[in-house]
Structure 1
């Protein structure tokens, strides 16, 4: 493996979209640091897959809603990078970790609302803030949003609202980090067949058929449809793409 490999940090990289992202990044020749919530066995399996692709990989547990743990996490990755790469810096930050919550506007509890804010917005905001000193000039930030910021469905208001906040935040990041030649973009997946939010997009045939019927390409998305685009955003060819929202939905409700 070339010592010139760049390093990508992906939150929530052990399953679903995150797993597809880290594998696509590794196939492009990047070394990987990723986080997982609690399932170490899943994380270890992904590490083995990355190593089989000829790249280095390490994973750390992290709950992105618990800001008090960020300093310890950053100490861990700084120590690891200094020991194995000679300095604590990395090249690409992909803020992917997340969960879903469903409930009508009238039924959503404050607890559920706060969870969405902490995981998808506050956590992303302050983890990025703490990682910026380690992100190399010329690096990339990719924040994961949702197709639900463009089209509206019932029972997703809290989740969709915080994803809307992430898109606004990302444009501000692009402006503020331009002097460091760091780009910041948002990827907004449509309906994808993963375990996210209970896994209905993977297992509920009625829902899958409905999604296919409102999607120009006539099917539900797969994690691989997302991973490759995130990896592309971390290539030299994508260097002029900045401050943008890229929807990956197969043409849902166009």
Structure 2
């Protein structure tokens, strides 16, 4: 059985990606930070469908703990799948923050840098020795990097996600010698827990966003989770170094 590691899979896009991969007969190691109940829900959903999953804690903003996380991955692979390697990595875990440039603190900047750019870089570096040749990586970026999707208040978030888009291309170039494909998905506005469940708290925001989206609604986690699973699948074996916008045609 193939095995994927999906970070930030206790809810939203990561949860959907984990479930979609499991439905493709892929074992899943999923991570969470804080929302252990959500991670256990993801595991339960996968197991209910006949799949296999393990949840592990991970603070993507604390790279000093990545070697210990790697050890936990080694143990999970050995104990659950009798393997010493894995096939797919989804760098999905992230953090949201909105502030105008004049209101952004250095602490805000550093936190987003650690979680959105430094974290995926060094986590990938840490786990690469365990990844099979011919594997695949998907990084979750954001449509906030696109010229037609710029919104005031997301300068640092968008800059870090833009950095991840560029990093995706360099990963694809350098890891191609091992046959590892690397792509990214850029979700548009998606109904997740970001912003403390903003869409549940402010449902009046939805009609305006839907009106600016060609397909007439906001995104759902499965819209993006399915795209991630597709990019890791055999049908995408000739796709690498691409950033795929998954936004329903926002501002099209």
TM-score under structure 2 length normalisation: 0.96
* Map of 1:149 onto structure 2: 145
Q: Does 1:159 align with 2:157?
A: yes
CA distance in 2, matches of 1:29, 1:149: 33
Runs of 4+, deviation exceeding 6 Å: none
* Map of 2:21 onto structure 1: 25
Q: Does 1:252 align with 2:250?
A: yes
* Structure 1, gaps ≥5 residues long: none
CA distance in 1, matches of 2:91, 2:199: 22
Contact in 1 for aligned 2:10/2:37 (Cα 8 Å) = no
1:98 to 67, 71, 94: 94
Q: Does 1:115 align with 2:121?
A: no
Aligned residues: 250
* Structure 2, gaps ≥5 residues long: none
TM-score under structure 1 length normalisation: 0.96
1:43 deviates by: 1.4
CA distance in 2, matches of 1:80, 1:159: 33
**Secondary structure of the structure 2 residue equivalent to 1:187:** strand
1:131 deviates by: 0.6
Q: Which moved more, 1:195-204 or 1:224-233?
A: 195-204
CA distance in 2, matches of 1:189, 1:234: 16
Gap change, CA 1:110 and 1:131, over 3 Å in 2: same
Correspondence list, 1:71-220, <5 A: 71-150=67-146, 151-220=149-218
> Residues 136-188 of structure 1: CA distance to partner in whole angstroms, max 9, x if unpaired?
11100000000100021100111000000000000000000111110000100
Contact in 2 for aligned 1:194/1:202 (Cα 8 Å) = no
* Map of 2:33 onto structure 1: 37
Q: Does 1:230 align with 2:228?
A: yes
